[in-house]
Amino acid sequence: MTYNLETLPKDLEANVLFLYGDEVSDRSLPLSRRELALVKERRADKRDFLLVFDRLPYRFYLLSFDSEKPTPESQEGLRRSAMKVLKRLEEDKVADLTVTGEGILDDEMAAVVEGLTLADYSFDRYRNKEAYHLATLTIDDRFMQPAALEASKRLWNRIFWCREWVNLPVQDLNAAAFADELQSIASDMEEVKCTVMDKKQIESLRMGGLLGVNRGSVDDPRFVVLEYKPRNLKNQNDPICLVGKGIMYDTGGLNIKPGDYMQEMKSDMAGAATMASVLFAAADNHLPVHIVALLPMTDNRPGFNAYAADDILTMYDGTTVEVINTDAEGRLILADAIAYAAKNYHPRLIIDAATLTGAAVRAISTFGIAAMQQHAADPFNLLKIVGDQVFERLVEFPMWSEYDEYIKSDVADLRNSSTTPQAGTITAGKFLAHFAGEVPYIHLDIAGVAYFTKPQHCYRMGASAYGTRLLYAFLQMQDMIEK
């Protein structure tokens, strides 16, 4: 999509999306008395709706919204309404759209443009039939500044690539291919360093979790470390570490997934894709924050000498782990990366993102992120506030000491899964928190929101990159705090 910022003439002839949130703008509406009466009649019943008026050969799309709602709800409503607008544009075969309004805020315009951008994405590379997309989006320059648009475009580009990576099947994006792609991107960025560790290097680090999960696969694992260290850096020695689960495909291993539970398991590397995208977006927009992304990558297969229940793995930090279930593999590779981050980078904060547990989906469905924290109450509270603002919301689960009993082992230091069905999301988080030690730590279980099996919010079916906007906005807040 091409974006244009323009000063629009009063006699504009184009397909127009007009944002209408307040009756104060009635006099400025380019509508006849009859059309305005229809708008008022509809708003008396419901404030959120889309009306279409013919202006042959063009159309005038009036998007009514409730500007009196709390700001985050109003903006999220506009993002979601953008999906409805896009569907109508597709029906009308409209390729070029101009967005304007009266009596609206810049942030309301930004929400609509962002919604149109997120809704316009679809996974097209294997289709022979060309899919519908907006070609150009012209924005009234009264409501958006060029610098803000450019910064948003750079973020949206990283969101696009995050979704593309997660949607790609493992046949075309295994651990080695993904690592090579990340290294190629980083090589074009002055302030980003990429280190790719192969199997021999991972063996030398004694990362028993990553190596154990990889034993059933024909493809070797990778451990990728991306470091963004800008010149205008204030926090020279205390980076924020972002750890992302990179299970490129998850069969469940020897505890193989039943029925259709293996469908969409190409998305089990969404955590790694998200964390890489957040770091690249921060670098694109030169945020003055030191960030390290640590991405362990492998697929989980039942072949060769696949690790099995009852195996005992020795992790990077020396912790021994009894394997209870080979389908609880994500926490094993994350544990090595978290321990590596804590030891080698002395971070002020570790945040991980992972499609970790079905229990998270059962607990809160597909409406937010199941989250936990250890020694990180203040940054967690800030992250929660930011999540409410961008509407990628967190639900905090407890880290009570009673849950430690669920991951105690009789034959090792820990076990990788509880033998009871209760509190599956929490026990996974408790397991990971062990490897962070005393470092402030936040765990984000994105299992319910990383990949949608049907259109939802402002996303079509497939990968959403949910969490990318959240973490990017959080890093922007770190910039403000340091100033």
**How long is the chain?**
483
Q: CB of 452 within 8 A of CB of 366?
A: yes
What is the spatial distance between Cα 375 and Cα 436, in angstroms, rounded to a whole number?
10
Name the amino acid, one letter, at 123: F
Burial class of residue 36 (count of CB atoms within 10 Å of its CB; 0-12, 13-18, 19+): middle
Angle between helices 330-345 and 424-436 in degrees, nearest 10: 30
Cis peptide before 57 (omega within 30 of 0): yes
Closest among 102, 282, 106, 251 to 189, alpha carbons compared: 282
DSSP H or E stretch at residue 447: none
What is the spatial distance between Cα 9 and Cα 239, in angstroms, rounded to a whole number?
49
- Tokens 């997120």 belong to 118
331 is a catalytic site residue: yes
Q: CB of 279 within 8 A of CB of 295?
A: no
| DSSP structure string for 107-148 | HHHHHHHHHHHHHH----TT-SSPPP---EEEEETTS--HHH
Sign of the C-alpha dihedral computed for residues 145, 146, 150 and 153 taken in this order: positive
Angle between helices 468-482 and 270-284 in degrees, nearest 10: 40
Strand partners, 139: 5, 99
Tell me which of 331, 415, 430, 460 is the catalytic residue: 331
Provide φ and ψ at 52, rounded to 5°.
-120, 130
Q: How far apart are the first and last CA of the chain?
A: 35
257 is a catalytic site residue: yes
What is the spatial distance between Cα 396 and Cα 236, in angstroms, rounded to a whole number?
30
DSSP H or E stretch at residue 289: none
Alpha helices in 304-423 (DSSP H): 330-345, 358-364, 377-390
Closest among 338, 366, 322 to 429, alpha carbons compared: 338
The catalytic residue positions are 257, 331
